[in-house]
């Protein structure tokens, strides 16, 4: 599959639930261009098992993203009405009440397909000529870090059973911001406060000699 890294994030306009209770039509990531970086992540379905742990974990760290001037946006193939119901269901009943960042409805599955995270593919039955779908009609656990220019700088895609690390998403935000501010590249396992290095042979040699 062709990577989206280094390319403009696919543009979409869709309905989303914002602040946990407000249904907004024509929601788009374009509103953040020139203003904020975006962590845009997909999850398979509302009212499932691993998914609420992820959405609640992002909410728990939302202030950390906001301190870094980063918007968090989620998306699944459920409708806005399903999102609304889940967002207003208490945690002890399997809900995600308290999640405030936008949750996008991708009922047509076109957003997931354009981002390359749809867990299946459409085709045509040769005998009937009818459209078919092979696989699971949900999104893999894809995450995309989109910079202020609308370019995708980082992505990770997990299979359905494998939950993501919110701390890793924050680490990648910090690495991008460090590079943008200082022009230094971030080595393996780098985290905010660690030494980075200059992107040349001398810089690499100097870094490796110290570690």
User: So which residues are the catalytic ones?
Assistant: 51
Residue carrying structure tokens 């078919």: 132
Residue 106, number of CB atoms within 10 A of its CB: 24
Q: What does the alpha-carbon distance between residue 32 and residue 15 come to, in Å, rounded to a whole number?
A: 16
**DSSP track, 8-42:** BPPP--EEEEETTTEEEEEE-GGGGTTT-EEEEEE
In sequence order, the β-bridge partners of residue 109 are: none
Residue carrying structure tokens 């989109």: 146
Half-sphere exposure of 51 (CA within 13 A, CB side): 27
Helices 50-60 and 166-182, axial angle in degrees (round to 10): 40
Sheet bearing 70-76, strands edge to edge: 22-27, 14-18, 103-105, 70-76, 37-42, 141-146, 152-158
């Amino acid at each position: 599959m062709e990577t989206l890294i280094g390319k403009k994030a696919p543009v979409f306009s869709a309905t989303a639930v914002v602040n946990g209770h407000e249904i907004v039509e024509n929601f788009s990531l374009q509103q953040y261009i020139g203003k904020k970086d975006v962590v845009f992540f997909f999850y398979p379905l509302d009212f499932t098992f691993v998914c609420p742990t992820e959405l609640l974990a992002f909410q728990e760290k939302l202030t950390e993203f906001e301190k870094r001037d980063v918007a968090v946006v989620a998306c699944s193939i459920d409708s806005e009405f399903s999102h609304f119901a889940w967002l207003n269901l208490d945690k002890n009943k399997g809900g995600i009440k308290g999640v405030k960042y936008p949750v996008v409805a991708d009922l047509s599955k076109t957003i997931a397909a354009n981002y390359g995270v749809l867990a299946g593919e459409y085709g045509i039955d040769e005998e009937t000529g009818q459209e078919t779908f092979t696989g699971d009609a949900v999104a893999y656990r894809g995450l995309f870090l989109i910079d202020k220019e609308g370019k995708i700088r980082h992505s990770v895609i997990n299979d359905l059973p494998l939950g993501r690390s919110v701390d890793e998403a924050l680490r990648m935000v910090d690495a991008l911001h460090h590079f943008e501010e200082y022009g230094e590249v971030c080595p393996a396992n780098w985290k905010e406060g660690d030494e980075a290095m200059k992107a040349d042979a001398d810089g690499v040699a100097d870094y490796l000699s110290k570690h």
